[in-house]
Structure 1
């Protein structure tokens, strides 16, 4: 297959660097351009020295990268992608937006939670939510993919079989998630300063995190009804990884064996999701630097709750890796291409 001309907009952030690292070894990618508002004219290695001698592309402006590319990855903060996506689609370019601008179909919810105004609502209707395990066939046919958020990826993959098979009642769903500090992005803040974060562990944005409406909307799409969940994210003193623990009520009459069987059957052919054996629970170190999601299950018979533990690498399955998985689907090749990395947990 002929290589696809690919550009990365917003390439000087953590996700951009992770994405470039994957794309450089992808056999179907010709990396044609990188953009950065703050580093135009500088080489990639001036921001990320690890690329020295391997790929010293010069950062250029957005318009140049768009013109040079047939498919664009956008790694931008919320509110910054919409106008650029409009420009790309008007030029018949395919787009994978790794930011939040197109994840929610509910415009009112998006504008309220993200404090931005939507100028092109028709683009949102055209976007496909890029969770391959849910929307694989639609991703193959679309021009615009909205890459899911990192927290929602871990949470939705953990819940999907139980909701789709109507084994649980998610109306009282409680979500406890922990993330490495790269999830906060590259911008400096006191919350992620080494002196404060090292040896520390804290909750933040309790009940107000912007990924909440995305989680709730997609649970409804999965068949769980219109719910409101309690979502509490935390910052771990580690670079990468997300561990989400989900507490959900089991429906009357549903057995533990039914739940385990449903999960194993549901994900048995999924290349990037593994349901662990009964009695085992996952660890973020076991999926580090990979596009894998590991899921562990426990049934609390006393409280009649299913406890799901789901782990991903927030920079891979939670961002850049999943974006490349979507890229593979969009251009019609094996979705695992370029994503075969496995890192030992030491």
Structure 2
């Protein structure tokens, strides 16, 4: 199989590390450029000990990257930095594909981007061509995309479970209450007091209550599916003392006489042909142990004891399907490869 030359920007972060882990066993990928400004000049194995068994290019600063030596770039940089780099790459090497794992191109409206991220969007001319990279819902657009904006981890879990229901008019999109929990890796690899072992261990803590930036994506995409402008949802994230994993519990009010069984039937038909989405049987409950280390999503719909309401639960690995795995899934589509290539690993247990 002919190799596609790939660069990873932000290779020293958790998402960059998981992207490299998956790419190393992808038969069509050759990793040629790995950037990490704070670790420039170091071998990857000095930054991540679990790569001691493999040969990789040394980490370099972004300014040293040679874009002539890449066909596709995965961006794992913080928000506010990817826009300018993407613009630069497209100006000099327009045939390079960008699979962005940051937030810089997820929001369709640059005004909304400034509202949520506090920065002016510096690449508004290329924003319109960005395809929202929620694979199962935008597969046809991803196939021909040059710029793919991969969703955040929380939106991936929430939107896969709720967008089909909103699109079919089975739930009231204006009455959504979403409780979300994520492993500590979701906060990134940077030093933060609230993610220190003594701060995060043996406890459970809400954060960014009423103002988490992923709310913007959730409202954007559910509003689009339901045909509603200016949608607002109730979303509260929590930090769980585990390395990876994510679980969202959404409380919904049903419409048009729908039952929980109807909701489940729509999800089943929507994802019947999708390799990574599993709708559990009966009232089996999704658990993070079902998906750890994999690109799988497990979900189910449970009737609420309150008439007219249901509980929709979804779980995924925040670093795989919630980030690097979905990025690789989109890469496969963009290059006409089997969607599951390099992503066949089953969940890790225990």
Q: Which of the five TM-score ranges fits, normalised by the shorter chain? A: over 0.9
Q: Pick from 118, 142, 147: which aligns with 1:144? A: 147
- In the alignment, the residues of structure 1 paired with residue 255 and residue 349 of structure 2 have an alpha-carbon distance, to the nearest angstrom, of 36
Q: CA deviation at 1:219?
A: 0.7
Equivalent position of 1:248 in the other structure: 252
Which sits farther off after the overlay, 93-102 or 113-122? 113-122
Deviations 1:177-218 (A, max 9, x none): 000000000001110000111111010110010111111001
1:238 lines up with 2:242 in the alignment: yes
Query: Which of the numbers 168, 181, 186 marks the counterpart of 1:183?
Result: 186
Which stretch of structure 1 is more off in the superposition, 157-166 or 141-150? 157-166
Matched ranges for 1:167-182 at <5 A? 167-182=170-185
Residue 16 of structure 2 corresponds to: 16
Q: Does 1:268 align with 2:272?
A: yes
Q: Number of aligned residue pairs: give it.
A: 346
1:244 & 1:130 partners in 2: Cα distance?
20
C-alpha distance in 1 between matches for 2:227 and 2:187: 29
Equivalent position SS for 2:126: helix
The answer to whether the 8 A contact 1:34-1:65 is kept is: no
Distance change (3 Å), C-alpha of 1:38 and 1:344: closer
TM-score between the two structures when normalised by the length of structure 1: 0.97
Partner of residue 50, structure 1: 50
Counterparts of 1:152 and 1:65, CA distance in 2: 33
| 1:110 counterpart = 2:109 | no
CA distance in 1, matches of 2:327, 2:252: 29
Q: CA deviation at 1:301?
A: 4.8
TM-score (normalizing by structure 2): 0.96
What is the alpha-carbon distance in structure 2 between the residues aligned to residue 199 and residue 223 of structure 1? 39
Following superposition, the deviation at residue 166 of structure 1 comes to: 1.3
Contact 1:139 1:329 in 2 (8 A): yes
Indicate the SS of the match to 2:181. strand
Classify the secondary structure of the residue corresponding to 1:173: strand
Query: Which position in structure 1 is the counterpart of 2:196?
Result: 193
Aligned to 1:166: 169
- 1:1-346 to structure 2, matched below 5 A, reads 1-63=1-63, 64-90=65-91, 91-92=93-94, 93-226=96-229, 227-346=231-350
Of residues 226-235 and 313-322 in structure 1, the stretch that sits farther from structure 2 once superposed is 226-235
Partners of 2:113 and 2:263 in 1: CA distance: 34
Q: Distance in 2 between matches of 1:257 and 1:177?
A: 23
Superimposed CA distance per residue, residues 241-268 of structure 1 (whole angstroms, 9 cap, x where no aligned partner): 0100001110141123322221211111
Secondary structure in structure 1 of the residue aligned to 2:343: coil
CA distance in 2 between partners of 1:252 and 1:328 (Å): 39
1:152 offset after TM fit, Å?
0.3
CA distance in 1, matches of 2:126, 2:54: 36
Q: Mind listing any 5+ residue stretches in structure 2 that lack a counterpart?
A: none
Q: CA shift at 1:222, angstroms?
A: 1.9
**For each residue in 1:223-257, what CA deviation from the matched residue of structure 2 results, as whole angstroms up to 9, or x when unmatched?**
35232001100000100001000011101411233
User: Structure 1: any 5+ residue segments left out of the alignment?
Assistant: none
Cα distance in 2, alignment partners of residues 89 and 339 from structure 1: 28
Per-residue deviation at 1:139? 0.3
Taking only aligned residues, the RMSD between alpha carbons, in angstroms, comes to 1.2
Rounded Cα–Cα distance in structure 2 between residues aligned with 1:58 and 1:10: 13
Taking the aligned partners of 1:46 and 1:240, their CA distance within structure 2 comes to: 22
